[in-house]
Structure 1
Amino acid sequence: MAGELQFRTATVDDAEELRQLIEAAFRAEDSRDGWVDDLGLGSGFRLELDVVLGIINDSDSAMQMAFDDNGTLLGTVTVAQREQGRGMIFHLAIQQQHQQGGLGRKILAYAEDYGQQRWGITRVGLNALSTRTLLISWYMRRGYVKTGETTPFPRDKIPDSVTPDALYFVELEKIVGLES
């Protein structure tokens, strides 16, 4: 990938391509223990088109698309405004053939900046599955800290998978701007 990434906000015309990208990225195999889970959750991950369209059409959220100089879609991330000054980042996804090349770091930084510029976000949150210890460490190296809060894993979203009772999301947060 030569040059700088180019970004634009997704439109409804991008919804199906983004749904496929996010599903593929979340299902991607990775040999690093603790990066992706060994529970088979990725293979059961489904993202409904209506969810993507809902995000695109919500004025409090924006799906950002990252392209190379040739116009090839490399990745995406969603940033959303929550309450005043707070935001959330989710659906950070990189095309499988471009993973492990530093794109995630660049796209995450762009999402943080986008949230600051668009909504004045000063604190941004995200979460990761408790089993994804390397991913949690990766976020922490980017300045995120564990809040001490957790969110239950939505077992009803993947009814055919066997998940341990202790599976949950670890909540993380980062200060990204000056607080008022």
Structure 2
Amino acid sequence: MITAIAPVFRAAGQADIDAVVALVESAYRGDSGRRGWTTESDLLDGRRTDAELVAPLLESPEHGLILLAIVEGVLRACCHIERHDDSAYFGMFAVDPSLQGSGLGKHVLAEAERIARETWHCRAMHMTVIDLRSELIAWYERRGYRRTGEYKPFPYGDERVGIPRRDDLRFELLVKEFSGAAP
């Protein structure tokens, strides 16, 4: 049992792809995902991601990266952040289901925001969340994100990101403005 969460952060490299895919799958799909509160198992079957989708995210480190959170030498959380002009995109956020609720996710989100603000000089962070995930949206709202009412359709037919169990899935855009962001 890990009692104190003190993550070490680093950017993922090609050698980390399989571990990232395994972590994301464990957090969102199947029985392992049901151990945590971020599971999408009731909404989607199939895979959440794969190596073919993760590998290209590592190709342009000046514009994006997969941030790894290592706790006691083990990959326990990750996210993808990508710069888009003066804002950053946050996605592929996964925390080991056994550590969800421990505060590790807050550390990862804060580090991603710090990189976007201080390294890339972004003015905001944005993300998309399945709008039926009210508990997850509420978690982001407690961290300063606001719902925009802007929606994107779910990519029905693309089994690389899951097989929908419902026909009413869509993503909502959430945004957090950074106060005092560098110009």
**TM-score interval, smaller chain:** 0.7 to 0.9
Q: 2:36, 2:100 within 8 Å by CA — same for their partners in 1? A: no
3-state DSSP of counterpart to 1:137: helix
2:58 to 56, 64, 89: 56
161 and 14 in structure 1: CA distance in 2 versus 1, 3 angstrom threshold:
same
1:74 to 73, 76, 79: 76
| Aligned positions of 1:121-160 closer than 5 A | 121-158=122-159, 160=163
Query: 1:163 corresponds to which residue?
Result: 166
1:29 to 34, 53, 56: 34
31 and 64 in structure 1: CA distance in 2 versus 1, 3 angstrom threshold:
closer
Pairs aligned (count): 174
- Superposed structure 1 runs of 4+ greater than 4 Å apart: 35-38
Question: Does 2:75 correspond to 1:65?
Answer: no
36 and 71 in structure 1: CA distance in 2 versus 1, 3 angstrom threshold:
closer
Q: 2:24, 2:48 within 8 Å by CA — same for their partners in 1? A: no
TM-score, normalisation: structure 1:
0.87
3-state DSSP of counterpart to 2:166: coil
15 and 177 in structure 1: CA distance in 2 versus 1, 3 angstrom threshold:
farther
78 and 177 in structure 1: CA distance in 2 versus 1, 3 angstrom threshold:
farther
Unaligned stretches of 5+ in structure 1?
A: none
Aligned partners of 1:108, 1:123: CA distance in 2, in Å? 13
3-state DSSP of counterpart to 2:26: helix
Q: Percent identity?
A: 26
